[in-house]
Chains A and B, each alone.
Chain A
Amino acid sequence: MDMTAGILNLVLGVVYVGIGTLIAIDLDADMRRRGWSHFGVSWLTIMFTCGAHHLVHGVHLSAEGRGIGPLDILAVGLGIPAGGIFSWLRIQSRRGRTGDRTITGTPPWLRRLAIGYGAAAALTVVVGVTAVVTDGVRPDPRLLPNIALVALYIGVGAVLWRGQVRNRQRYGAWSLSGLSLMMIFPTCALMHAVYVLYAATGQFAPDYHGLWVDWIGVPSALYFLWVVRGLERGTLTDWNERFEDIDITAALPNDREELIAR
């Protein structure tokens, strides 16, 4: 199980770094013509820092013999589908295919999936509180970046969720790409919360590799939250808000998450 989780983290890390590289290539080509893109740059930094985090985590699990607890497995189990779907759609988009799928209305399976995710999150909270009560807490300042990331990822997830709801009302359908991106952040928050829980209750010790990667992730997450919040509120302008001859209908399937992020 630990080895599987480690390999999955390594794969996810490589995919995220790969997506970050593709974004960097796109930005390099387009920023000269269209100017600075806050969304593009913040998304790039998130992909690189999240990718680095998963790579470090994967190395710890697969090569250094670190174990993971049941909550960790649960969090990874929730996050891998979201991250996998998002990455698959990005690769599809890069290969010139449709980078999104629409889900008309709110089908029952989607409701059940949402309930399942909610139940898993609730279960994690309950188990965590129980562990804190029974095992006691050994606070360590090295857990601060993970605590900050939990708060920031929940904030990003909330903004993206509001964007998804608005798009659902506007188009009468959910965007699979948007939903998967939106779900990545709460599941990431869950993973970091589990890490804090296990480390604070002494189940494994904080390490300096993850510590530095997570501290680098904090400003990235802050920047991304600032960008998506600014785009949502209209205080920030980005590529799509400038006057250019852009074929909006052609952009919708591939760049739906950019629109959703507003």
Chain B
Amino acid sequence: MSPPHTVLKATTAAGDLSSRRITGLSRVLIALVVTAAASVEALPLPQWFAWVAGLAWLPAAAVLWMAEEGPASRRRTLTGMCLDLVALLSVIALAPQLAPPVMLLLIPLAAAYTYQGGARDGLLLATPALLGRWLLVLASPQVDVHPVDEIANALVTLCVILLMQRALHVRRQDARRVREVSAASETIMDRSTESILVTAPDGTILQANPAAGRVLIDPEETVLVGAGCTDRLALHEPGGRPLDCATGCALAQLCAGGDDAVEVFRWIGDARQPLLASSVPLRNELGQISHLHSFRDITTLKQADEAKTMFLATASHELKTPLTVIRGFAQLLRQTITDGHGTAALDAIESRSGELAVIIDRLLLSSRIDAGKIDLHLETFDLAELLRIRLRDLGRSLGSTVDVQIEEGLQVHASQDALATVIEHLVDNAAKYSHHEGAVAVTTRAEGSDVLIDVVDHGIGMTPTQAAQCFEKFWQAEITDVRRFGGTGIGLYIVRSLTEAMGGQVMVRSVVGRGTTFTVRVPGAPVAPPQHPTEDLVVSTLREDGPRTAETNAVDEFMDQIGLRTGRS
């Protein structure tokens, strides 16, 4: 069933209140002018007419005007019209020479009736008035009749009525459009599941939809409209800083005029309510800026995401322990099995379990990033030395050619382990999507105070849309990529998260069929900690005692646990 406000009101035959007021006021003013003029004998009318006008016509007109404040009444309109006709024709009958000035009074009155009830009402007044006037003037021997003047008077009256009718038609059309748009807007506001608020420049909440009432009203509060948004909503940035609207809308400043939503939260008692919020400025005709805000309660989404992260972390952790045992025993068996088939089987076990270990480590790292349990130890170190060690081992394990062009002497301020992980993921990704014959190139260069590391492949490449999405978690260019190239789709997510946590930035350029270039920009000199880290990260899975691949760590740990060392570094 449609809500009541979507039903459009039709204009009644008796007109709306403003038009009825205008007609009533016109009648009063005409009665007042004629009565005043008659009372001072400014008009050639008998004294008794002045008394009748003052004691009957003027009071009756005033009563009808006042009565228009009540419900519309067609009978009242017709009564007023009869009163006007009788009074004006009486003036002409008593003083035919007053016919021209009476016509001047008739024209605005006819216009008012047209404005109230359309051309029909205007003609309903003007036609008998004109006919009565002609009859009375023709019947009067003292007055000369000028046909041209009479026709001109009638045409002017008719034109005024038609013009007023046209203006009324346009006005009603506009009013109807406004009502339709207004009704549609109200329906959108009322039925939207998004919480929508409009706030004044001083932060006062001017408008709130029902969804806002459901989501944003605290249990002990009752209304939003009229309250200040700083006090009533008490929003906080994700970092915990309260949003203060003392110097303008803080949420609008947080959104920075963009269309993207930002995450904020508020406290409801001891519970944290996460909200996805956006803000759009609304400028009125006076230049004042109010704001349209929308809020979505993402508590359930957050809980689901946390549950998923917890599940991934738990499952990865549980998978890692038996996997470590498998790999450890495979290496143990290598010391006793020497025949060809047995060695091949052990190679396969070690290779596949190694790949599985990489996946599990990535999932664990991703879970820790999501949970905010990662912190980085930023230090200044020689980039060339780090890359030489890492890329030598990596190229060997990938079985691909890695063309390295390292500029000597580049000092970066970052986390050695995190940057090594970033480069390893990018090189691994480049090798995976490259043609077998294509080489992966890694180059470094300084740009201003930053250092740029390019990882270039000549593989399948990406479309611009794919390039824009490639850093999203679990994203793969095609569903079939999982089968064609393997992987979990979280490598680039980890790359972006770690790079941004170091105060850097990662960019991508790609051409389909020609390859992809990932560029990592990291600070080249000691800088202040990043202003807006995506998360507080600690790569706790990476050892602090030297560059080692993640899969080696777990095996080494196990070997240490069972008292065996393989001698691999």
Contact = CB atoms under 8 A, between A and B. Distances in A.
Contacts of B47: 141
A245 B204 contact: yes
A236 B69 CA distance: 8
Interface in B155-198: none
A249 interface: no
A219 B61 CA distance: 12
Interface in A203-224: 208, 211, 215, 218-219, 222
A142 B40 contact: yes
Interface residue SS majority, chain A: helix
Interface stretch (A22-30, A48-56, A227-235): A227-235
Given A141-B47, A222-B62, A215 B36 contact: yes
A147 interface: yes
Interface in A58-91: none
B54 A147 contact: yes
Interface in B38-63: 38-41, 47, 50-51, 54-55, 58-59, 62
B201 to A, nearest CB: 12
A141 B39 contact: yes
A211 B39 CA distance: 10
Contacts of B226: 243, 245
Contacts of B62: 222
B204 A145 contact: no
Contact of B51 (A144, A218, A225, A226): A144
Contact of A229 (B39, B40, B58, B66): B66
A202 interface: no
A214 to B, nearest CB: 10
B55 A147 contact: yes
Interface residues of B, number: 25
B38 A218 contact: no
Nearest to B62: A222
A129 B40 CA distance: 26
B50 A144 contact: yes
Contacts of A222: 28, 32, 62
B312 interface: no
Contact of B69 (A144, A211, A229): A229
A215 B54 CA distance: 11
A151 interface: yes
A148 interface: yes
Contact of A145 (B39, B65, B69): B39
B14 to A, nearest CB: 15
B254 interface: no
A139 interface: yes
A145 B66 contact: no
Contacts of B40: 141-142, 208, 211
B245 interface: no
Given A211-B40, A230-B69, A144 B54 contact: yes
30 contacts: A139-B51, A141-B39, A141-B40, A141-B47, A141-B50, A142-B39, A144-B36, A144-B39, A144-B50, A144-B51, A144-B54, A144-B55, A147-B54, A147-B55, A208-B40, A211-B39, A215-B36, A219-B29, A222-B32, A222-B62, A225-B66, A226-B65, A229-B66, A229-B69, A230-B69, A235-B69, A235-B70, A236-B69, A243-B226, A245-B204
Given A141-B51, A222-B62, 11 more contacts: A139-B51, A141-B40, A141-B47, A141-B54, A142-B39, A144-B54, A218-B32, A219-B32, A222-B28, A225-B66, A243-B226
Interface of B: 17, 28-29, 32, 35-36, 38-41, 47, 50-51, 54-55, 58-59, 62, 65-66, 69-70, 204, 206, 226
